[in-house]
Amino acid sequence: NNLTVTETITLFARLKGIRWAELSVLCNHMLQIFDLGLYENKQIQELSGGNKRKVRTLLAFMGKSVSVLLDEPITGLDALAKRKLWNIIRTAHHFYRTVILTSHSMEECEALCTKIGIMKSGQLLCFGNLQKLKQRFGNGYIIQVQLSFDSTDRFLEELSFTFPRTEVQKRYNGTLFCTIPFLTTTEYPLKLSFIFRWFYKKKKEQLSRTFAIKGPTLEDIFIRSVGENRTTIDIGGK
């Protein structure tokens, strides 16, 4: 805590085997990337919590390690700093460095991770890429439709005929909320393009006014997976 930011970078750079001749350029480069140039001569103990987090993350990325471990990297960062750090992590991945991070932020995991594992009480419940997790644990496509006047009965009849396993959550003030499973009755994946075309056709037929389609969020998957008792499931996918 008594070292300055620059001294801290120098110390860890030397511990990671970086030569003295490279230190000056490396230090300036890392300070610029992490927006710490104004604090280079300040002691670590004088920094805010967010800037201390930046320094720790900076130290993790120094050197030529093929793997970087990050524990809650965005904690204490404002929105702008968080986005910049995300860009740094994405860039590191593009240069073939593996980044393993722990996070309570579903937004962060969706934005950054190519593979996601969900843990409960120290046990890994599932592991795989986001799309596979959504297909495995998501209930289906979530639909919101604003119906045309006096078209509810006909619309519901055609909806249940085309998508027999549709679950209607609620109807409120002319708006219908429902979930269409990812799989049809024949257990073949239901394509989003087909669902979109069908709802667009109903709009042109004036059975509905507007519609919105979205997939399950990572938070939906998290809530469902931790609520079930299971051994680890490897979803697979690259």
Around Cβ 221, how many Cβ atoms within 10 Å? 22
Does residue 130 register a pLDDT over 70? yes
Does residue 229 register a pLDDT over 70? no
What CATH architecture is 139-215? 2-Layer Sandwich (3.30)
**CATH 3.30.70 intervals, the chain:** 139-215
Provide, rounded to the nearest whole percent, the portion of the chain with pLDDT above 90. 38
CATH 3.40.50.2300 is the classification of domain 5-113: no
- Render pLDDT for 67-88 as a digit per residue (tens, 0 to 9): 889 999 888 888 888 898 898 8
Greatest alpha-carbon pair distance for the chain in Å reads 78
Give 70's strand partners.
101
Residues 6+ apart with CB under 8 A from 170: 177
Question: What's the pLDDT at 89?
Answer: 86
**Mean pLDDT over residues 119-125, rounded?**
88
**Mean pLDDT over residues 19-39, rounded?**
90
What secondary structure does DSSP assign to the chain, as a single string? --SBHHHHHHHHHHHTT--HHHHHHHHHHHHHHTT-GGGTTSBGGGS-HHHHHHHHHHHHH-S--SEEEEESTTTT--HHHHHHHHHHHHHHHHTT-EEEEE-S-HHHHHHH-SSEEEEETTEEEEEE-HHHHHHHH---EEEEEEEPTT-HHHHHHHHHHHSTT-EEEEEETTEEEEEE-SB-TTSPBPPHHHHHHHHHHHHHTTSEEEEEEEPPPHHHHHHHHHTS----EEEE--
Does residue 35 register a pLDDT over 60? yes
**d(Cα 82, Cα 77) in Å, to the nearest integer?**
6
Please report which confidence band the pLDDT of residue 121 belongs to, taking 50, 70 and 90 as the band edges: confident
**d(Cα 70, Cα 72) in Å, to the nearest integer?**
6
**CATH 3.40.50.300 intervals, the chain:** 5-113
**Mean pLDDT over residues 87-109, rounded?**
85
Work out whether the CA dihedral 87, 89, 91, 94 comes out positive or negative.
negative
Provide, rounded to the nearest whole percent, the portion of the chain with pLDDT above 70. 92
**d(Cα 172, Cα 196) in Å, to the nearest integer?**
22
How far are the Cα atoms of 6, 8, 118, 128 from residue 238, in angstroms, in the given order?
39, 37, 17, 8
Does residue 64 register a pLDDT over 60? yes
Backbone φ and ψ of 110, nearest 5°: -65, -35
Tokens of 52: 């201390």
Tokens of 77: 């960062």
Question: What's the pLDDT at 71?
Answer: 92
Question: What's the pLDDT at 92?
Answer: 80
Question: What's the pLDDT at 49?
Answer: 87
